[in-house]
Structure 1
Amino acid sequence: MALVTVNKDTCTKCGLCAVVCSIIYFKEGSYPRQLPGTDEACLRCGHCVGICPTGSLTHKEMPEEQTPLIDKSLEITFQECAQLIKSRRSIREYQDKDVPRAEIERIIDVARYAPTGHNMQDVQWLVINDRAYVDKLRAIGADWLRFMMKTNPQMAAMFQGIVEMLDMGRDMFLQGAPAVVAAYGEKNNPMSATDCAIALSYFDLAAKTAGLGCCWAGFFYMSAGSYPDMIKAVALPEGFMPYGALMVGYPKYKYTRIPARKPARIIYRK
């Protein structure tokens, strides 16, 4: 059975599926069909199913219940989108409140729709929302910060101030966040870093609409890829590494204004 089949009773022969899909052949006046021997060439992007105005195309690997209709009543305006993006803040002060696993999973369910190179969809997720385990990471992270100050002369000045804050009792590693969400991928996939960064950006924005706040956990990401104790604590499968992470929690404070940003620097070519 072909990956893509057409319901001839409802197909209007518009040919849109062939426009957006390179493995579908269409000749005006005839029904579209999948080209022979193209199963492996299919990206599983779902464009053929998504664009058909009559729902006449079926993809064997995408059951109808996995391809819901777009609810036009939920479409947002450019202004609404702009405010969401511009009002997103890096949150470093959190309520003393756990982040439920179900809530994180709900956001990941949205973030998994982020684009990936060649539609490989290889981004995987590490969620740490157990307070005791997060505290363990915090302690290892503090050791890593001190280690970096002593062994990395180029960054010693920056890390010295951070370690001084640590010694004063401030959590400079995870900023008191109750949860950490990381995206990881295969080391030998050249797109892993980009794919994970995009997926985390989707998570970051979606989390805001769910009442959560995030901050990119650069120290965690750096240590989880190089510091033996953190690598052991994170315990990712062999051949994988994290390519980004977020601190996650319920914001302690609310922001009422959008801070200024540098103007966009744009080069046009003719």
Structure 2
Amino acid sequence: MIELKTASELDAMRSAGRVVAEVLAALRDHARVGVTLRELDEVAAAVLAEAGAEPVLPGTRPIREPRPFPGVLCLSVNDTIGRAPPTGARLADGDLLSIDCGARVEGRCGGAAVTVPVGTAHPDDRTLLETTEAALTDGIAACRTGARLGDVSHAIGLVGRSSGYGIPARLGGHGIGRDRNEAPFVANDGAPGRGSPLRPGMALSLEPTFVAGGRDSYQLDRDGWALRTDDGSRCAHAAHTVAITDDGPRVLTVP
């Protein structure tokens, strides 16, 4: 069931989203060669605590994984598509780092993600990042009252497919509100004019993820959390929390 949010609930989500934006801004500055993923997670935890926000990831579990998630961020490097926990691995020159953060304020959630180059960025990586961000922009623009979920999925997928990138199957965005992951599922590719209609009060997390090698398949890492591309090719992930309003899309995860 899709839950419609009240104005006050969306304001609380905006507060959570503002904190998430602060976290991502801080981590852009800290994501340097030699820094460990665990150190980045500690920076994020400190920003969240100072803002009085609750991280949403600790304690979550994927299917068949008995251990709770061990950090406040998903930190995915190079061929890792997502869900990767923070570890002691150090960032190297040329890495691509996806930073995925969620926060809860006054019982309501906000989440966003960005992929950044570490050190020297290869031109192909920059193109991948720019294309993923462009898909997010187009997906947000499609979030208008009277449109359908398929219109959003189509807008995102059109950018990725026309660029020759893979779009990981069964991964995408979702509703967000009281919980970090609610109905509906928002695919990163699809047919326009299909799916549930968009109504004022809906809040969606849009999450385009593109794979440079062009394949849609992936595999579960041995750690039981991270997902990796089948062919070792790099990927990029970008996300924002967006509210549907009568006046157009309202992005909740900006400064």
Name the TM-score class by shorter chain.
under 0.3
Task: Judging by fraction of residues, say which structure has more helix.
Answer: 1
Task: Judging by fraction of residues, say which structure has more strand.
Answer: 2
